[in-house]
């Protein structure tokens, strides 16, 4: 099969880590008989420098015409003083909106060979962590009505959490569909003991669950979930939650796995096309030094193969290769212990490709 992938390298370490992921996908293509055509487009600070716009129309058009999109990271101090709408980060919101991406998936997996990087007690870490948070991305309090007003007690500010049944149903379906590819269980996180929006969330998740009789669903209050993530993270598999709760819990979950350089993410909408990127930023402090960890972006490529292109075996082959490389003790600087030998970004990529064979 032929697949067209739009590629946004972005800024900072973006070009090096994206190149790593492309090389791994090409190697998978050779092994499994697929052809990936990668079309590079500009977005972020580099796009602003070249065109005066951080998200050129041509980039949006190419992404819309692609089977899926791979992104490195955007931003850096060079563009920090630009007005908000010209900043690289504005392009991120713009591309998510243009592609209709309302679900953000963040896997958090603890590789057994990196268990010592987990900040939890060894007896908790050894039970394993392999969960995925499905966060609603385009609704809730981050997009609700907000403002400031004068009251008799002086100035006050407000933000509003609002969710429609339609918004909850579509994110719940993403979680249930994903659960069918994993352990067939979903934990929905809310604050239904206090918030009306959470009560509608809970009702709607359970109503939607009737379409998925093979998937078990349970609820957890967000304060308890924050505690359970450090007390017993192995109980979680697919987690679905609102924009703000997902924002906070996914950072907590990512910390459990050790390094930001290992974690991938996917943003999905109604069709199969998605936007796949590492959770970290453009790391301007190490850009151009060749020492960035490419694993998060390589695993983002694997997620794309599984979730957008339906290539499960191929995705698994990449994840397996990353696991083997880490099990052999090969490390980039961010995950090495003091005194350990380290690999460059391209040496780590070579090692992953060698393990694919
Ligand atoms: P960052 O994630 O870029 O870096 C934080 C720290 O982690 C740095 O010390 C960096 O060197 C290290 N790091 C990150 N990725 C690494 C990797 N793959 N290998 C080894 N070390 C790695 O966060 P920041 O410094 O707060 O942000 C830098 C820029 O990135 C900012 O302009 C920010 O707006 C942008 N950003 C972009 C995205 C995105 O494109 N989705 C996300 C977050 C931040």
Neighbours of 211 (CB within 10 A): 11
Ligand 1 atom with minimal separation from the 71 CA: 40
**In angstroms, what CA-CA distances link 286 with 14, 259, 292?**
11, 15, 7
What's the pLDDT score for residue 259? 77
Q: Is 285 in the pocket of ligand 1 (CB under 6 A)?
A: yes
Q: How confident is the model at residue 217 (pLDDT cuts 50, 70, 90)?
A: very high
The answer to the question of whether 288 is labelled as a binding residue is: yes
Q: How much distance in Å is there from the Cα of 106 to the middle of ligand 1? A: 16
Positive or negative, the Cα torsion across 54, 306, 175, 112?
Answer: negative
Q: Domain residues of the chain, as ranges?
A: 1-104+270-357, 119-256
How do residues 138-194 score in pLDDT, each as one tens digit?
A: 999 988 999 999 999 999 999 999 999 999 999 999 999 999 989 999 999 999 999
* Identical fold between 1-104+270-357 and 119-256: yes
What H or E segment, with its residue span, contains residue 271?
Answer: none
| CATH class of the domain comprising 119-256 | alpha beta
Q: How confident is the model at residue 305 (pLDDT cuts 50, 70, 90)?
A: very high
How do residues 1-15 score in pLDDT, each as one tens digit?
A: 899 999 999 999 999
Average pLDDT, the chain: 95
Q: How confident is the model at residue 251 (pLDDT cuts 50, 70, 90)?
A: confident
Q: How much distance in Å is there from the Cα of 241 to the middle of ligand 1? A: 25
Residue with tokens 């920090």: 80
| Residue to mutate, 84, 265, 283, 301, ligand 1, most ligand atoms under 8 Å from C-beta | 283
Please give the share of the chain, as a percent, with pLDDT higher than 70.
Answer: 100
* Pairing relationship of beta strands 274-278 and 264-268 according to DSSP bridges: antiparallel
Q: How confident is the model at residue 213 (pLDDT cuts 50, 70, 90)?
A: very high
Closest Cα partner for 9 from 37, 46, 62, 54? Answer: 46
Q: Is 348 in the pocket of ligand 1 (CB under 6 A)?
A: no
Q: How much distance in Å is there from the Cα of 217 to the middle of ligand 1? A: 35
Considering only CA atoms, which residue is closest to atom 12 of ligand 1? 283
Read off the pLDDT of each residue in 106-113 and give the average, rounded to a whole number: 91
258: pLDDT strictly greater than 80: no
Closest Cα partner for 4 from 68, 98, 53? Answer: 68
What's the pLDDT score for residue 337? 84
What's the pLDDT score for residue 33? 96
Q: How confident is the model at residue 122 (pLDDT cuts 50, 70, 90)?
A: very high
Closest Cα partner for 245 from 202, 188, 200? Answer: 188
What's the pLDDT score for residue 357? 74
1-104+270-357 adopts what CATH topology? Answer: Isopropylmalate Dehydrogenase (3.40.718)
Q: Is 283 in the pocket of ligand 1 (CB under 6 A)?
A: yes
Neighbours of 194 (CB within 10 A): 12
What's the pLDDT score for residue 338? 85
How do residues 27-51 score in pLDDT, each as one tens digit?
A: 999 999 999 999 999 999 999 999 9
Read off the pLDDT of each residue in 334-338 and give the average, rounded to a whole number: 87
Positive or negative, the Cα torsion across 102, 131, 337, 348?
Answer: negative
Q: How much distance in Å is there from the Cα of 293 to the middle of ligand 1? A: 11
Q: Which of 49, 61, 223, 270 is catalytic?
A: 223
Does residue 142 have an active-site annotation?
yes
Neighbours of 316 (CB within 10 A): 13
Does residue 191 have an active-site annotation?
yes
Please, is 336 exposed, middle or buried when counting C-beta atoms within 10 Å of its C-beta (0-12, 13-18, 19+)? middle
Query: What single DSSP character describes residue 337?
Result: P
Q: Strands, E, within the chain: which ranges?
A: 2-10, 35-41, 68-73, 103-109, 130-136, 146-151, 154-159, 185-190, 216-221, 238-241, 264-268, 274-278
Q: Strands, E, within 233-347: which ranges?
A: 238-241, 264-268, 274-278
Contacts of 337 (CB under 8 A, 6+ apart): 331
Q: How confident is the model at residue 114 (pLDDT cuts 50, 70, 90)?
A: confident
Q: Is 18 in the pocket of ligand 1 (CB under 6 A)?
A: no
């Amino acid at each position: 099969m032929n697949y067209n992938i739009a590629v946004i390298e972005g800024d900072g370490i973006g070009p090096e880590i994206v190149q790593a992921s492309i090389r791994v996908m090409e190697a998978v293509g050779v092994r499994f008989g697929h052809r990936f055509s990668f079309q590079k487009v500009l977005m972020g600070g580099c796009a602003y420098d070249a065109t005066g716009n951080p998200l050129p129309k041509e980039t949006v058009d190419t992404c819309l015409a692609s089977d899926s999109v791979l992104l490195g990271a955007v931003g850096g101090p060079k563009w920090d003083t630009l007005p908000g709408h010209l900043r690289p980060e504005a392009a991120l919101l713009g591309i998510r909106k243009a592609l209709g991406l309302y679900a953000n998936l963040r896997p958090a997996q603890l590789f057994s060979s990196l268990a010592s990087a987990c900040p939890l007690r060894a007896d908790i870490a050894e039970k394993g962590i392999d969960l995925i948070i499905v966060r609603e991305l385009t609704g809730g309090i981050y997009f609700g009505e907000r403002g400031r007003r004068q009251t008799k007690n002086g100035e006050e500010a407000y933000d509003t959490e609002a969710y429609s049944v339609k918004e909850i149903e579509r994110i719940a379906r993403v979680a249930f569909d994903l659960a069918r590819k994993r352990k067939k269980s979903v934990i929905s996180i809310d604050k239904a003991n206090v918030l009306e929006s959470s009560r509608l969330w809970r009702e709607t998740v359970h109503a939607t669950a009737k379409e998925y009789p093979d998937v078990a669903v349970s609820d957890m209050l967000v304060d308890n979930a924050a505690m359970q993530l450090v007390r017993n993270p192995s109980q979680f598999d697919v987690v679905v939650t609102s924009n703000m709760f997902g924002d906070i819990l996914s950072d907590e979950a990512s910390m459990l796995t050790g390094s930001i350089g290992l974690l991938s993410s996917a943003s999905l909408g109604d069709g199969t096309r998605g936007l796949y990127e590492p959770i970290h930023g453009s790391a301007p402090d190490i850009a151009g030094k060749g020492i960035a960890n490419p694993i998060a972006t390589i695993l983002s490529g694997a997620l794309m193969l599984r979730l957008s292109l339906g290539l499960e075996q191929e995705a698994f082959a990449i994840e397996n290769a990353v696991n083997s490389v880490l099990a052999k003790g090969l490390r980039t600087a961010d995950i090495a212990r003091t005194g350990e030998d380290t690999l460059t970004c391209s040496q780590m990529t070579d090692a992953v490709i060698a393990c694919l064979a």
